[in-house]
Amino acid sequence: MHHSDSKESNGTPTNSDFTASIVHFDRHMPNANGAVHYPVHPSTQYTYDSVDDLIAVFQGKSKGNSPYSRQGTPTTAVLEAKLASMDNGDGAVAFATGMAAITAIFLTLLKAGDHIVVSQYLFGNTSSLLNTLEDFGIQVSKVDASVVANVSSALLANTKMVFVETVANPGTQVPALKAIGDLCEQKDIVYIVDNTILSAYLFQPKSVKASLVVHSLTKSAAGQGQILGGVVINTGLFDWSNYPNIFDGYRKGDANKWGLMQIRKKGLRDMGATLTSQSAHVISLGLETLALRMQRSSETALKLAQMLQNHPKVASVSYPFLESHSAHQQATDLFKAGSWLFSFELKEEDQCLTFVDKLKVFIKATGLGDTRSLIIPVAHTIYWEMGPTKRKAMKIGDGMLRVSVGLEESQVLIDDLMQALG
Ligand SMILES: *Cc1c(COP(=O)(O)O)cnc(C)c1O
């Protein structure tokens, strides 16, 4: 069951105080020596004033530091609190990568015999992970989630979760976010939203009743192409008391937190894909410029997408804030801007590789959300392994080019695209 009344806000950033609440967050965390920036804690173990305190931590009766860093450190705890507050959630668990966060959700909350419904336009490695889950006896239905009826007609008696991404990479498809949230609430199904591309600054999945939000922190959040990380945020909207896969040991206290507790205990302590303090620190620094970067790169991406759309040599451009996009209305209603991701195809498909080689500013590389603009032909690279049949099903054309817009001045990027188009 879901709670319809929203919980007490724990410092939810509004549009106007988003950055202020991030850059002042450290002041409200316990911190020795008055350091203005929260320090990095490299220690792998932690001690307590008395042996009773040590025992209390092990028995879950005290909220002291985790005794051993595989379950987190003071530095990762501060990052988790910051990320939870940015998404208006009531808790978060950080992981070494986005894929570790997604894997932890599935492996800790699903069992053989369960069924999940997912968007057919998922991040390639998430899609590949789902194939592994099928081998473990979990049923997966992939649907076009832009229409809620496709999701509802895929639901079975054993459906435990619906999993979607806010903006798909590389095709920029947007699922029927709000309608799926209403459906999951009504059917008492866990609703998981991967918000990597947009970040909490452009969209908060809690507003469409997501139960859990996941981010690869490697992309928008850290934003500088230098660190890997992932996070699962609990929105607090889902009541886990009737969810069958929660171990007895975690059926304690507020039932809205049981799912996240199990993700932390099983996902970090047992599976061990833990974020280091050093990485958490770098991600925390990235968050301080998140709003500035997302504003800037979204503005530039829209300009580039519009320019390309009007160019005679371009066949199509996919960007949610273009009027030509099938989810334009929903995207502009729900999202503050369209992010740094867009894709396009040239009319002469066989020219796409030569075009990329002519670019001087855009860097030929995979990766997303860097400070530099990146471009990659997707069918030949990141989607090569899946083969032509699956690429076709995912609407990935042979000439599709994916762009991750960086922080350069827009004119520099426009000039580069124009000279390469000739
Ligand atoms: C990159 C990405 C991931 C995986 O994140 P890593 O940090 O690279 O493991 C998951 N989902 C989406 C939408 C992504 O773009």
Half-sphere exposure of 105 (CA within 13 A, CB side): 31
Residue 14 — very low, low, confident or very high, per pLDDT cuts 50/70/90? low
- 228 CB near ligand 1 (under 6 Å): yes
Query: Over the stretch 144-188, which tens digit does the pLDDT of each residue have?
Result: 999 999 999 999 999 999 999 999 999 999 999 999 999 999 999
Rounded Cα gap, residues 126 and 118, in angstroms:
10
- 98 CB near ligand 1 (under 6 Å): yes
- 170 CB near ligand 1 (under 6 Å): no
- 103 CB near ligand 1 (under 6 Å): no
Q: Is the pLDDT of residue 9 over 50?
A: no
Q: Given the CA of residue 229, which atom of ligand 1 is nearest to it?
A: 7
CA pseudo-torsion sign 268, 272, 273, 275: positive
Rounded Cα gap, residues 257 and 307, in angstroms:
47
Average pLDDT, the chain: 94
| Strands across the sheet containing 314-318 | 314-318, 341-346, 400-404, 374-377, 363-364
Q: Is the pLDDT of residue 8 over 90?
A: no
**Ramachandran class of 266: left when φ > 0, alpha when ψ lies in -120 to 50, beta otherwise:** alpha
Among protein residues, the one whose CA lies closest to atom 6 of ligand 1: 98
- 185 CB near ligand 1 (under 6 Å): no
Q: Which helix (H) or strand (E) holds 75?
A: helix 74-86
* 223 Cα: distance to centroid of ligand 1 (angstroms): 13
Assign 118 to helix, strand or coil: strand
Rounded Cα gap, residues 344 and 405, in angstroms:
13
Query: Over the stretch 213-262, which tens digit does the pLDDT of each residue have?
Result: 999 999 999 999 999 999 999 999 999 999 999 999 999 999 999 999 99
Q: Given the CA of residue 230, which atom of ligand 1 is nearest to it?
A: 7
* 216 Cα: distance to centroid of ligand 1 (angstroms): 5
Query: Over the stretch 28-65, which tens digit does the pLDDT of each residue have?
Result: 888 778 888 999 999 999 999 999 999 999 888 887 88
Provide the β-strand partners of residue 94: 231
- 219 CB near ligand 1 (under 6 Å): yes
Among protein residues, the one whose CA lies closest to atom 1 of ligand 1: 216
Rounded Cα gap, residues 288 and 416, in angstroms:
30
Name the H helices within 289-409.
290-309, 328-334, 352-358, 387-393
| Strands across the sheet containing 190-194 | 91-95, 230-234, 212-216, 190-194, 159-165, 115-119, 139-143
Q: Which of 81, 20, 9 is nearest to 291 (CA)?
A: 20
Chain centroid to CA 389: 27
Q: Is the CB of residue 244 less than 8 Å from the CB of residue 48? A: no
Cα dihedral 135, 71, 216, 87 in deg (nearest 10): 120
Q: Given the CA of residue 218, which atom of ligand 1 is nearest to it?
A: 7
pLDDT at 32: 76
Q: What is the bridge-based pairing of β-strands 91-95 and 159-165?
A: unpaired
* 280 Cα: distance to centroid of ligand 1 (angstroms): 16
- 168 CB near ligand 1 (under 6 Å): no
Instruction: Please state the φ and ψ torsions of residue 315, each to the nearest 5 degrees.
Output: -80, -45
Among protein residues, the one whose CA lies closest to atom 4 of ligand 1: 98
- 192 CB near ligand 1 (under 6 Å): no
Q: Which of 94, 18, 3 is nearest to 293 (CA)?
A: 18
Domains and CATH numbers, the chain: 18-287 (3.40.640.10), 291-421 (3.90.1150.10)
Averaged pLDDT, 371-398: 91
pLDDT at 64: 81
Q: Is the pLDDT of residue 198 over 90?
A: yes
Rounded Cα gap, residues 418 and 422, in angstroms:
6
Name the H helices within 214-267.
258-262
* 215 Cα: distance to centroid of ligand 1 (angstroms): 7
- 196 CB near ligand 1 (under 6 Å): yes
Taking each helix axis from N to C end, the angle separating 277-288 and 74-86, rounded to the nearest 10 degrees, works out to 30
Q: What is the bridge-based pairing of β-strands 212-216 and 314-318?
A: unpaired
* 352 Cα: distance to centroid of ligand 1 (angstroms): 25
Q: Which of 82-86, 238-242, 380-384 has the lowest mean pLDDT?
A: 380-384
* 391 Cα: distance to centroid of ligand 1 (angstroms): 19
The two three-digit tokens of residue 108, written as one number? 């800790």
Q: Is the pLDDT of residue 6 over 80?
A: no
Taking the chain, what is the end-to-end CA distance rounded to the nearest angstrom? 58
Assign 316 to helix, strand or coil: strand
Assign 384 to helix, strand or coil: coil
Q: Given the CA of residue 101, which atom of ligand 1 is nearest to it?
A: 9
Rounded Cα gap, residues 164 and 280, in angstroms:
26
Q: Is the CB of residue 114 less than 8 Å from the CB of residue 257? A: no
